[in-house]
Structure 1
Amino acid sequence: MPLRKEDNMLTYDQYLSMGENIKYEIIDGELYNMSPSPSVKHQTIAKELVTEFNIYLRGKKCEVIPEIDVSLEGLEDVTKIREWVRPDISVICDKSKKKENHIAGAPDLVIEILSKSTAQKDKVTKFNLYKNSGVKEYWIVDPAYDLIEVYLLENKEFVKKGTFSKQDKVKVNIFDDLFIDLDLIF
């Protein structure tokens, strides 16, 4: 649920000073509280996806990072960042985007796992934010139905490549030879 902060918008350095247990996103001036913690199923799906990406990416230039703050504008100076998101899973292939506490710039692939409180934000607000910032591939995981929707950025628009279920293998389009067996995920 967003909370409007009109006059004194929180900067990222102020947010960092609040402590590690405080988790917020700020999107277009809206402050989104990231608590309570996700469900066990949500976390299990995230763990399995991260495992599959880690196995494939070991020794390669790209890296999978769960739950990290991302400045999609690519800002490095924490005193200037006024908008950031915290995707469930990010794949980063440009290591120069990795900063001490955040990623500065669009990840190559973002995965969001829906919950009741985040579904609209993930399917609309973040969908458009990721598209406009140049995320190459966006997955929306629906744990209620064990489905994954895959979108690819083509001509500055997300194009849906399909909806996949537990019996499917999903092609990770930013890589030539990675397919993830969803039976291992759900």
Structure 2
Amino acid sequence: MPRAALKKVGHWTYADYCTWSEEERWELIAGEAFDMSPAPSTTHQRVVFNLGLILGNFFRGRHCRVLAAPVDVLLPRADEADGKVETVVQPDLLVVCDSTKISERFIRGAPDLVAEVLSPATAKKDEGIKRDHYERAGVAEYWLVHPLDQTVLRYSLEAGHYGRPDVFGEGDTMASTRFPDLVVIWDEVFGAVEE
């Protein structure tokens, strides 16, 4: 049985977060701390790996960067100083095309694309509060990948909001809305899960 994500009681900022042990993985969402431990399942990791290969191959030689967790993504409000940022997430996979957002320590600002591969312990957070923060921050495209039922929800930002998600599953091919030449054959992502 998966354990629910533990929380540190209090209201936290990135400055606080930087003082915590690097042996623990945490996310901050609106100042609330969520524990990212224990490590994800091997099924989760295979799906992340397969999708990461597809993204990496597509963006090779292009100006965008593909990154995988753990990498801190700071989602500040307006000109909020780094130390004051209250939302710091670690998406499973992300694509950033604006090189000014990338530092050696973190990404500051909305990635162009975020993919979260759901696990029982994080699904509620990924489908709710994180989705809302990605929308607010301006993440152009957000994929929620369900490895167990082999479905994908694709949210696309239009006029600053995510509408109803497009749903994909076994046998489906999906073109990205942000990068139309990026086509994902979901059987290639989920195929190794069944092996």
TM-score, structure 1 normalization? 0.91
2:72 aligned residue: 69
From 81, 87, 96, the equivalent of 2:85 is: 81
Partner of 1:93: 97
SS in 2 for 1:139: strand
Equivalent position of 2:29 in the other structure: 27
Matching residue's letter, 1:37: A
Per-residue deviation, residues 127-157 of structure 1 (Å, max 9, x unmatched): 1111111000000001110111101001111
* SS of equivalent residue, structure 1 residue 160: coil
Q: Tell whether the 8 Å contact from 1:4 to 1:29 is kept in structure 2 after alignment.
A: no
Could you tell me how far apart the structure 2 residues matched to 1:83 and 1:89 are?
A: 17
Counterpart for residue 193 of structure 2:
none
Separation (CA, whole Å) in 1 of partners of 2:176 and 2:19: 37
Deviating beyond 4 angstroms after TM superposition, the runs of 4 or more aligned structure 1 residues are: 74-78
Query: Does 2:157 correspond to 1:153?
Result: yes
| 2:174–2:183 Cα contact (<8 Å) kept | yes
Is the counterpart of residue 38 in structure 1 residue 45 in structure 2?
A: no
Distance (whole Å) between structure 1 residues aligned to residue 121 and residue 48 of structure 2: 17
8 Å CA contact retained: 1:5, 1:29: no
Partner of 2:128: 124
Secondary structure in structure 2 of the residue aligned to 1:117: coil
Question: Given the superposition, is the C-alpha separation of residues 107 and 71 from structure 1 closer, same or farther in structure 2, using an over 3 Å criterion?
Answer: same
1:168 to 161, 169, 172: 172
Aligned residue for 2:166, secondary structure, equals strand
Q: Which amino acid aligns with 1:175?
A: F
* Identical positions, percent: 36
Report the alpha carbon displacement of residue 77 of structure 1 after superposing the two structures with TM: 5.3
CA shift, 1:177, in A, is: 1.1
For residues 95-115 of structure 1, the C-alpha deviation after alignment (integer angstroms, 9 at most, x for no partner) is: 110112110000001111111
> For structure 1, which segment, 163-172 or 51-60, has the greater mean C-alpha deviation from structure 2 after superposition?
163-172
Higher mean alpha-carbon deviation, 148-157 vs 78-87, is at 78-87
SS at match of 2:57: helix
RMSD value, Cα: 1.8
- Size of the alignment, in residue pairs? 184
